[in-house]
Amino acid sequence: MIEQWQPASSQTSKPDSDTLLQLLAALPQQPQSPVIDRQRLDDSVRAKAHTWITLDEAAWQTALAGIAADQLLQVATFFVCAEQQLEDWQCGSSNPAIWVFRYLKKQGTPASKEQIRAIKALTDNRYIPHGSAL
C-alpha cells in the first residue's frame, strides 16, 4: 500500500473555543453593520481560523459546546462577515456559521427569525443559515 503525501500546510487543527472567542474582538460593539476591525484581529488567530473554514460540521462540535449561545451568534456573524470582507475566506456551503446555527437548533436554542434576518443581510452566501438543501 502506498501512502499519499500530504503537504504540511494542508494540516489543520480542530477549532477551539478559546480561539473562536478571540475572533470576537474584531467585531464592533454595534451589530447593525459589522465591519471586521483588522487591527484588532491577531494575524495568528486569523490564520488559524482560516484553516478551519473547510472543516466539516463534526469537527466543530466540541469547540461550539464550550461557548454560550449569544457568543455563538457572534461567532456566526464573524464568519459571515469574514467571507464577505476578508480575502480568500469564501466558504459557500461549508461556512462555519451554518454549523453554529445547526448546533444551536440541536441544543434547543435556535436563533430567532430577527437574528437570522440580520445575519442574512450581511451576506450574499445563499447557504446561510441552514446550509445546502441536499
Q: Which of 96, 54, 103 is nearest to 77 (CA)?
A: 96
CB 71 within 8 A of CB 23: no
The pLDDT value recorded for residue 33 is 72
Q: C-alpha grid cell for residue 54?
A: 473547510
What is the pLDDT averaged over residues 80-99?
A: 94
Q: Which band of pLDDT confidence, cut at 50, 70 and 90, is reported for residue 13?
A: confident
Domain boundary assignment for the chain: 14-25+35-120
For position 133, what pLDDT does the model report? 77
**C-alpha grid cell, residue 16:** 477551539
Give the whole-number percent of the chain exceeding pLDDT 90.
Answer: 78
pLDDT above 60 for 86: yes
Residue 127 has a pLDDT of: 96
pLDDT per position as a tens digit, 57-84: 999 999 999 899 999 999 999 999 999 9
Interval 101-123: pLDDT, tens = 999 999 999 999 999 999 999 99
Cβ atoms of 74 and 116 within 8 Å: the answer is: no
Q: What is the pTM of this model?
A: 0.87
pLDDT, residue 72, reads 96
Q: What is the pLDDT of residue 60?
A: 95
**68 Cβ contact partners less than 8 Å away, ≥ 6 residues apart:** none
Q: How far apart are CA 87 and CA 22, in angstroms?
A: 19
